[in-house]
């Protein structure tokens, strides 16, 4: 399996832009490109899909076991010509100070993947060699096979940098990009703006591809990708074949709700669930013939005015939930099921009104990072991730089902309650990868099965 990882020395060095450019340039050559993203990111994969015309999958060594990662990678990369894995943050940045837990470096070792390292070379000369050497020596098991220099001032500048790196560090430079503000993608509080919201994205990608083809040696990158190291064959770690046979689950999919681990959706299909999509922005009602709902995260606050206008859909959804339809909602989905969203400027927009609280947008990030989740009612623990600029308005009517905690050096240093439960609906801020604990998925599927058979219990009345 041909594969490379594009990693950065740090965040904001052009890793995403260069990854996208390489994917698009390879796809232009009629290669079947399989994109991946290290870490719990939903936005970069939307760009990956746009430029490669293939679904991008997340790889996360904090959420998932090494064998699960190998299985998912092999399954999703088969029948493709080359896989391009975009790293996360800096090469060695992982969970806390553990470089072998959640980092790009760790993922490269798990998947035995050669690394192309992106270096910010603005205003640098020979000192760049010291920087690259540090990354090479910090973990000799990480196979750094090429360097791309970003924000280079001229061809002469690149030649100088290339010479000192290759002479003193013995890692080849495979190209560079000149400093260009036009290629910078706009940012928002959750990272990068989703692909569907970027104006003239096709034109911007075409412009980027021309620069990649001009300044970066794609043939050398393809050669580096032909790793001789094998990833051992791993059997499917989840034994749920047929567990969802006959069930139909509707998934919210539109501009407001698009944050899903693609492996979650693929797994639901594989166990027999038939997925239908719906749009809280555009549809008048839910699909009638369904046994459950899945409402992922996104940016409901950005589309709060449009969501409020669709009063007919909000009413239909609330009635179906009141009547016992099972639903699972994450982050933005949770916000949508409250009474409304209050924005920073004080404006308030009504949402579904299923839970007796409102979502308050905040300037400060409320939760960020990996968390452990206990679900006492189900006697299970799950690894998850949170990232949100909102919080719920507290009141004594809220019934929390999760205990969430963060660890440092193996000890719990923060703990809080989260996850609203009412009737057959569970909604919470943490994003959960179903492969992290299949028992959690089974519990959700069981609830849909009970509803379909007509004996689902209406809990917490």
pLDDT confidence tier of residue 280, bands split at 50, 70 and 90: very high
* 3-225 to CATH, choices 3.40.50.970, 3.40.50.1370, 2.60.40.420, 3.40.50.300: 3.40.50.300
26 — pLDDT class (breaks 50, 70, 90): very high
| pLDDT at 410 (0 to 100) | 80
What is the pLDDT at residue 180?
Answer: 79
What confidence tier does 408 reach under pLDDT thresholds 50, 70, 90? confident
State the pLDDT at residue 187. Answer: 52
The least confident of 51-65, 87-101, 249-263 is 87-101
What does the pLDDT read at residue 461?
35
Split at pLDDT 50, 70, 90, the class of 98 is: confident
Q: Is the pLDDT of residue 175 over 90?
A: yes
- Per-residue pLDDT band for 457 (boundaries 50, 70, 90) equals very low
Domain boundaries, the chain: 3-225, 248-453
Active-site residue set: 331
Q: Does domain 248-453 have CATH number 3.40.50.880?
A: yes
Q: With bands split at pLDDT 50, 70 and 90, how would you rate the model's confidence at 193?
A: low
**pLDDT surpassing 80 at residue 385:** yes
**Strand 187-188 versus strand 248-252 pairing type:** unpaired
What's residue 124's pLDDT? Answer: 96
What is the average pLDDT score of the chain? 94
Has residue 173 got a pLDDT over 70? yes
Give me the mean pLDDT over the 417-422 stretch.
94
Q: Is the pLDDT of residue 181 over 70?
A: no
Q: What is the pLDDT of residue 188?
A: 47
| Nearest of 68, 383, 38, 22 to residue 174 by alpha carbon | 22
pLDDT band at 451 (very low <50, low <70, confident <90, very high): very high
Question: If you average pLDDT over residues 25-54, what whole number do you get?
Answer: 96
Q: Which residues pair with 371 in a beta bridge?
A: 384
What's the pLDDT tens digit per position in 340-362?
A: 999 999 999 999 999 999 999 99
State the pLDDT at residue 228: 83
What residues have CB less than 8 Å from 151, skipping those under 6 apart? 14, 120, 121, 122, 177, 178, 179
Q: Shortest CA distance to 118 belongs to which of 150, 143, 86?
A: 150
Q: How far apart are CA 90 and CA 112, in angstroms?
A: 18
pLDDT for res 183: 54
Output the pTM of the full model.
0.94
Which pLDDT score is estimated for 97? 87
């Amino acid at each position: 399996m041909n594969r490379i990882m594009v990693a950065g020395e740090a965040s904001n060095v052009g890793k995403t832009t260069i990854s996208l450019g390489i994917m698009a340039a390879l796809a232009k050559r009629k290669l079947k490109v399989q994109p991946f993203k290290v870490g719990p990111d939903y936005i970069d994969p939307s760009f990956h899909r746009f430029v490669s015309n293939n679904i991008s999958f997340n790889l996360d060594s904090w959420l998932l076991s090494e064998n699960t990662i190998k299985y998912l990678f092999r399954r999703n990369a088969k029948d493709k010509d080359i896989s391009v894995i975009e790293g996360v943050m800096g090469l060695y940045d992982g969970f806390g100070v553990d470089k072998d837990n959640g980092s790009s470096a760790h993922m490269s070792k798990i998947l035995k993947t050669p690394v192309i390292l992106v270096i910010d070379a603005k205003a640098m000369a020979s000192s760049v060699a010291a920087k690259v050497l540090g990354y090479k020596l910090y973990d000799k098991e990480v196979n750094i096979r090429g360097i791309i220099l970003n924000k280079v001032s001229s061809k002469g500048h690149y030649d100088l940098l290339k010479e000192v790196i290759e002479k003193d560090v013995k890692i080849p430079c495979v190209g560079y990009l000149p400093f260009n503000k036009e290629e910078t993608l706009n940012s928002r509080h959750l990272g990068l703006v989703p692909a569907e919201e970027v104006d003239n994205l096709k034109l911007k990608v075409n412009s980027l591809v021309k620069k990649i083809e001009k300044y970066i040696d794609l043939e050398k990158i393809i050669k580096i990708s032909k790793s001789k190291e094998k990833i051992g064959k791993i059997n499917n770690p989840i034994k749920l074949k047929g567990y969802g046979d006959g069930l139909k689950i509707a998934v919210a999919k539109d501009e407001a709700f698009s944050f899903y681990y693609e492996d979650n959706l693929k797994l639901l299909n594989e166990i027999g669930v038939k997925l239908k999509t719906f749009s809280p922005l555009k549809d008048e009602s839910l699909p009638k013939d369904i046994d459950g709902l899945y409402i992922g995260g996104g940016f409901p606050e950005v589309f709060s005015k449009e969501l409020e206008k669709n009063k007919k859909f909000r009413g239909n959804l609330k009635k179906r939930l009141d009547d016992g339809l099972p639903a699972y909602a994450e982050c933005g989905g949770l916000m949508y099921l409250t009474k409304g969203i209050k924005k920073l400027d004080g404006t308030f927009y009504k949402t579904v009104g299923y839970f007796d609280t409102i979502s308050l947008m905040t300037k400060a990030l409320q939760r960020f990072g990996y968390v452990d989740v206990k679900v006492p009612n189900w006697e299970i623990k799950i690894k998850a991730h949170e990232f949100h600029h909102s919080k719920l308005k507290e009141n004594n009517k809220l019934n929390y089902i999760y205990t969430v905690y963060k660890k440092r050096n193996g000890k719990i240093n923060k703990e809080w309650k989260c996850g609203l439960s009412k009737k057959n609906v569970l909604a919470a801020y943490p994003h959960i990868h179903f492969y992290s604990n299949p028992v959690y998925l089974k519990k959700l599927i069981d609830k849909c099965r009970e509803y379909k058979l007509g004996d689902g219990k209406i809990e917490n009345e």
